[in-house]
Amino acid sequence: MKLLTELHDDKVESALERARASGKLIPAMEGWAQELASSNLASFEAWADCARPAVHLGPPLLAGRTPPPELLERGRFRGSNERMAICSQLGLDPDQIEDKE
């Protein structure tokens, strides 16, 4: 019985690691993912198969090419209403946020 438990735990950890490596499992979801994978591995794997990556895995690409510098300099949300709304909800001053590229 102990061997089966260890085998199951290894499969669970392997599934969680694959989801982390692919960017589908973010730290905020760890508890939920661990609980689901431990209780129903098939259900977790079904979620992982259809989930989209939730984290930034590298620089933006356009048909395999890097975007023009002016797009990178301008930024997607820099000065936009979305950025202001997010900062407002988090209680942050938009001018104090440092852009990292």
Q: What integer pLDDT is reported at residue 101 of this predicted model?
A: 47
pLDDT values of the chain reduced to their tens digit, one per residue, 101 residues: 888 888 889 999 999 999 988 889 888 899 999 999 999 999 999 999 999 987 665 655 566 676 666 665 555 545 567 777 777 888 888 777 665 54
**What is the DSSP code string of 26-92?**
-GGGHHHHHHHHHH-HHHHHHHHHHPPP-S--SS--BTTBPPPHHHHHH-SSTTSHHHHHHHHHHT-
The pLDDT assigned to 3 comes to 85
